[in-house]
Amino acid sequence: MDWQHLKFTKEHEWVSLDEGTAVVGISDYAQKSLGDITYVDLPEIGTGVAQFQEVAVVESVKAASDIYAPLAGEVCEVNAALADDPGLINRSPYDQGWLFKMTDIDLSGLDQLLDAAAYESYVAGLG
């Protein structure tokens, strides 16, 4: 997946919009910072979340990290493949390693997210 069209949070989540559905994952920077991901605690399908609300947890050999919803909406699908292979996030953070999908999205929150160029600049300032 080309990550240039994604929107990002300053907590390193990404969101891709596709016909009324938001696909959510963590950035390449986040997965590299975490190291080998060993477990993912995903939200229940049907869970309603507010923008920037804690919605999942990713555990790695280094730490556990809370995952926040980049937009408000309702969880409609989780990436079941991560239960057996959480390392998909390390190997394919923008494609096979997505975390969950949401519907009933509040698009008014998009203006609080960073585009790819702004996120790249933000991450460069962290190092």
82-96 tens-digit pLDDT: 999 999 999 999 999
For residue 4, the model assigns a pLDDT of 73
Break the chain into its structural domains and give their ranges. Answer: 3-124
- Of 103, 95, 37, 38, which is closest to residue 69 (Cα–Cα)? 103
The span from the CA of 53 to the CA of 113, in Å, is 14
Instruction: Kindly report, residue by residue over 35-59, the tens digit of the pLDDT.
Output: 999 999 999 999 999 999 999 999 9
Domain 3-124 in CATH 3.30.70.100? The answer is no
pTM score of the predicted model: 0.95
Q: Which two tokens stand for residue 28?
A: 């390449």
Confidence label for 2 from pLDDT (cuts 50, 70 and 90): low
The answer to whether 49 touches 75, Cβ cutoff 8 Å, is yes
| pLDDT tens profile 65-124 | 999 999 999 999 999 999 999 999 999 999 999 999 999 999 999 999 999 999 999 999
Sign of CA dihedral 58, 63, 64, 69: negative
